[in-house]
Amino acid sequence: MLQLDQDLFYFINHNLHFGILNKWMPYWRSMYFWFPLYIFFISFLFYNFGKKASIYLLALSLTVGVADTVSSRLIKNTVERVRPCNDEKEKMHVRLLVPCGSGYSFTSSHATNHFAIAVFVIFTFVEKRKWLKWSLLAWAASIAFGQVYVGVHYPLDIICGALLGSGLGWLGAFLFEKYFKKYSLITEGV
């Protein structure tokens, strides 16, 4: 399985490179690139839902915080998989488009965090806004894919990160809807 993972990494990292993606993907996968979207979403929530937005955003932040901690601190430090761009045998073959980073590779925290956001929002906000469901999943998947494209993660890192983030996003949404139902945004008519 690890050989297949490496082969898929090299296919994506070498064969799928296009001029425009080489320029955009380093930005696309950066959290700073998405700050305007985050600010818009936060502003939208406060404008439309008032005080409810504070509790909702706290629950979303806690969900992402747990997802990031599990991925970055617990799993990465337990598995200790070296990033492809830091692997002494492999790094000379990696097309690296961003700084490599010194942390471990498995699981991708980018994938974990963005899928946690997407799934939490899907289960707590998107019920009446079905068109957003696929947009959110495509957004999270494209950021995760970018991690392989720029050379800092293997595909298995992002697949497992996506599964972890999705599971924790669902759990956060479930707990929020169960214990903080009066702050739910699903029933709102925006």
**Distance (Å) of CA 152 to CA 12, 15, 114, 185:** 12, 16, 16, 36
Looking at residue 130, its pLDDT comes to 75
Place of tokens 């598995």: 79
Per-residue pLDDT of the chain (190 residues; tens, 9 = 90+): 888 998 899 899 888 888 888 899 999 988 899 999 999 999 999 999 998 899 999 999 999 999 999 999 999 999 999 999 998 888 788 988 999 888 899 999 999 999 999 999 999 887 767 778 889 999 999 999 999 999 999 999 999 999 999 999 999 999 999 988 877 776 555 4
Computed from CA positions of residues 109, 112, 114, 117, in that sequence, does the dihedral angle turn out positive or negative? negative
pTM, full prediction: 0.91
Runs of H (alpha helix) within 18-154: 19-28, 35-49, 51-69, 76-79, 109-125, 130-149
Domain locations along the chain: 2-183
The structure tokens listed for 122 are 């899907």
- Sequence-distant (6+) residues with CB within 8 A of 126 are 132, 133, 136
Q: What is the CATH number of domain 2-183?
A: 1.20.144
Contact 124, 180 (CB under 8 A): no
